[in-house]
Amino acid sequence: MKKILLVCTLIGGVLTGAFAQQDKPERGDRPHKTPEQRAEMRTNRMKESLALNDDQYKKMLAINLEQEKKRDEFRNEERERMLASRKRMKSNYDAAMKSYESVLTPEQMTKLREEAKKRRAEIRDNWKERRGRR
């Protein structure tokens, strides 16, 4: 009887843990909130923690909305800057590869490309590993 109870408890614990993990959305799967939604959430938290009255709530909502819109602008500017930087890096890489082709044999170029693919895969795997720890 004790063994049956122990086995049932273990199975129940394993199943509970497995199902609890399934409902958790991945980091990239969550929908992004609008500045209005983020400002309202922040203001609601402030209303509860600071006991804001209605007049204060409206003023704080306006301030938070302005701040969230500015944050969106900063994020968009940074995203555009990063994309432009990637394009420059890619064109530089392509130019280097063309220069290499003029010096190396086809076999050496194949080996160079294979080694580059390996390095990229290692970097990607390491990045995923580090990100998973957060």
pTM beyond cutoff 0.75: no
Evaluate whether 52 touches 44 at the Cβ level (below 8 Å).
no
- Please count the structural domains in the chain: 1
Cα gap 22→60, rounded to integer Å: 37
The separation between the first and the last C-alpha atoms of the chain, rounded to the nearest angstrom, is 42
- pLDDT tens by residue, the chain, 134 residues: 667 766 667 676 666 655 555 555 555 566 889 999 999 999 999 999 999 999 999 999 999 999 999 999 999 999 999 999 999 999 999 999 999 999 999 999 999 999 999 999 999 998 888 877 65
Q: Is residue 95 part of a domain?
A: yes
Q: Is residue 16 situated within a structural domain?
A: no
Assess if residue 109 is contained within a domain: yes
Cβ pair 75, 67 in contact under 8 A: no
Asked if residue 12 belongs to a domain, the reply is: no
Is residue 21, in this structure, part of any structural domain at all?
no
| 7 part of a folded domain | no
- Is 9 among the domain residues? no
Domain that holds residue 38: 33-128
